[in-house]
Amino acid sequence: MPAQLMDGTALARRLVEETTAAAADITRRTGTAPCLATVLVGEDPASVTYVRMKRNRCAKAGIGSRHIALPASTTTAELVATIADLSADPDVHGILMQHPAGPHIDERAAFEAIAPEKDVDGVTMHSFAAMGFGLPGFVSCTPGGIMRLLDAYDVGLAGKRAVVVGRSAILGRPVGMLLLAGDATVTYCHSRTADLPAIVREADIVVAAVGRPRLIRGEDIKPGAVVIDAGYNAGNVGDVDFDTARARAGLITPVPGGVGPMTIAVLLAQTVRAAAHQLGVQAR
């Protein structure tokens, strides 16, 4: 029997509905709508599209947006100054810096200019440490969406072996920490991992987040395992060979329609939570 699909689109829709209601409640009680600022350096077509999509989703959820478009020639110092101004602006409750910002930009310096209470994308070292220590804060959005998917499908983590393929600072590393916080035993794999298939075969939960199409093959999936494909490559192809993996897995995310919709839904939810905190009201 093929694996059950983990429907990220439906779960994201429910989360956005809850977020929309919460945003409306905050606006009614305070007279101020939650506001997300997006910062984009240059005119990379994919980045422009992503930012436009996020702003459209904000509008539909009753979240205000402020877009800062900077030329490709922007320096790191100029970008940091722009983000610092947004961090100090009481009318902005969340900040998203679209990345990549260009090879000449020190992205870590730019991320660190985001005030922790406005880091709704979960990209600062403060947020990373909070995830690692299990402290209050904002999670990286894609890992946060993955954890919500696992919870929605009643995937117990305690004692399970989770293999994370990928070690990026905003996806692989944080999702591993969140799985560890749920009492899973976590193994990180990456481009220099020896005999990756053998490690994947032992996993009860596989998170593919490396950006290489169909890297994870179906024959290497443990029967009944949970497969989370966080990759997105040209042609709507994930990091997992979907058809062969579905024949062996118990649960699997499709691409598209799995992890992707959850990322934006978590971003919106965290923006509203940030606004509630900054405006001094309890989010509902």
DSSP 31-93: S---EEEEEEES--HHHHHHHHHHHHHHHHTT-EEEEEEE-TT--HHHHHHHHHHHHH-TT--
**Catalytic one among 121, 204, 220, 239?**
121
User: Is residue 98 annotated as a catalytic residue, yes or no?
Assistant: yes
Torsion of CA 243, 247, 250, 254, to 10 degrees: 10
Which one of the listed residues 25, 85, 89, 98 is annotated catalytic?
98
Cβ partners under 8 Å of residue 15, min gap 6 = 148, 262, 265, 266, 268, 269
Give catalytic status of residue 160 as yes or no.
Answer: no
Neighbours of 191 (CB within 10 A): 10
Active site residue 54: yes
Amino acid letter, 175: V
Residue 193 CA to residue 200 CA, distance in Å, equals 11
Q: Which two tokens stand for residue 35?
A: 């506001």
Rounded CA gap, 6 and 220, in Å? 20
Residues belonging to the active site = 54, 98, 121
